[in-house]
């Protein structure tokens, strides 16, 4: 269940606008200093308003982190859905879907890095929700793999399919986690093509 973040403000549009400002400011600070070393006063200043205003829209610093994680998952999900090629089929659609996911992670790599580094600081209930969102992302990839399986473009057992879905997500995230090394060796296009080739090795059924 989605966590309810307390607010004293009644206007939904204003809540949305202020929280978006808060999320952007918090991501910059969490990336630079980490969650624990960042104060709510710093978040307020980075977001462009006072500490008093900040507490009109949240109850705690943990609420800010939760909003950051939730917003990132929603953004990644929306952008992935928008980039998925539904006109193609089989192995072509699968490859384009994987490339689309890699592109989204590339575009949001700072946010993704912050989320994975700091999500452990969330309270138990909020962390459970965030982990559920992670599984939803995996299930989106599973659906695409299953479509390819039904079209006989790939050959996988059920347990192999589920593992491949996780592998695709991990390889995309590695572009962010190990960017200090990976991005010195490869451009995104080359990295994506090599990963797709390795991921599909042994499961691709040429027609």
Instruction: Say if 7 falls within a structural domain.
Output: no
Instruction: Say if 125 falls within a structural domain.
Output: yes
**What's the pLDDT score for residue 205?**
61
CB 18 within 8 A of CB 57: yes
Instruction: Say if 175 falls within a structural domain.
Output: yes
CB 37 within 8 A of CB 65: no
Instruction: Say if 5 falls within a structural domain.
Output: no
Q: Which residues pair with 204 in a beta bridge?
A: 154
Instruction: Say if 131 falls within a structural domain.
Output: yes
Q: Alpha carbon of 33 to those of 30, 117, 123, 196: distances in Å?
A: 5, 12, 20, 34
CATH of the domain at 127: 1.10.357.10
Q: Alpha carbon of 2 to those of 70, 120, 126, 132, 137: distances in Å?
A: 9, 17, 8, 10, 16
Residues 34-61 pLDDT 10s: 888 999 999 999 999 999 999 999 999 9
Residues 9-32 pLDDT 10s: 999 999 999 999 999 999 999 988
Distance (Å, whole) CA 32 – CA 10:
33
- Residue-range definition of the domain harbouring residue 161: 12-201
Residues 151-201 pLDDT 10s: 888 888 989 999 999 999 999 999 999 999 999 999 999 999 999 999 988
**What's the pLDDT score for residue 78?**
82
Instruction: Say if 207 falls within a structural domain.
Output: no
Structure tokens at 92: 């072509």
Residues 62-95 pLDDT 10s: 899 888 888 888 887 887 777 676 777 778 888 8
- Tell if the pTM clears 0.85, that is, is over it: no
Q: State how many domains the chain has.
A: 1
Instruction: Say if 150 falls within a structural domain.
Output: yes
Residue 203, CB half-sphere, CA atoms under 13 Å: how many? 22
Instruction: Say if 4 falls within a structural domain.
Output: no
Residues 116-165 pLDDT 10s: 888 888 888 878 888 888 898 888 888 888 888 888 888 889 899 999 99
**What's the pLDDT score for residue 46?**
94
């Amino acid at each position: 269940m989605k966590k309810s973040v307390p607010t004293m403000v009644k206007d939904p549009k204003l809540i949305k606008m202020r929280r978006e400002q808060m999320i952007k400011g918090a991501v910059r600070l969490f990336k630079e200093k980490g969650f624990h070393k960042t104060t709510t006063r710093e978040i307020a200043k980075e977001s462009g308003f006072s500490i008093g205003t900040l507490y009109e829209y949240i109850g705690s610093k943990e609420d800010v982190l939760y909003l950051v994680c939730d917003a990132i998952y929603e953004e990644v999900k929306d952008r992935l859905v928008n980039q998925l090629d539904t006109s193609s089929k089989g192995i072509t659609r699968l490859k384009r879907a994987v490339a689309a996911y890699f592109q989204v992670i590339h575009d949001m790599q700072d946010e993704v890095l912050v989320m994975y580094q700091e999500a452990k600081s969330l309270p138990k209930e909020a962390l459970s929700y965030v982990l559920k969102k992670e599984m939803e992302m995996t299930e989106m990839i599973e659906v695409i793999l299953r479509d390819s399986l039904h079209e006989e473009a790939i050959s996988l057992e059920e347990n192999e399919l589920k593992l491949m879905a996780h592998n695709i997500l991990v390889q995309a995230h590695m572009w962010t986690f190990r960017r200090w090394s990976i991005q010195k060796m490869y451009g995104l296009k080359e990295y994506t093509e090599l990963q797709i080739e390795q991921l599909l090795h042994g499961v691709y059924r040429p027609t």
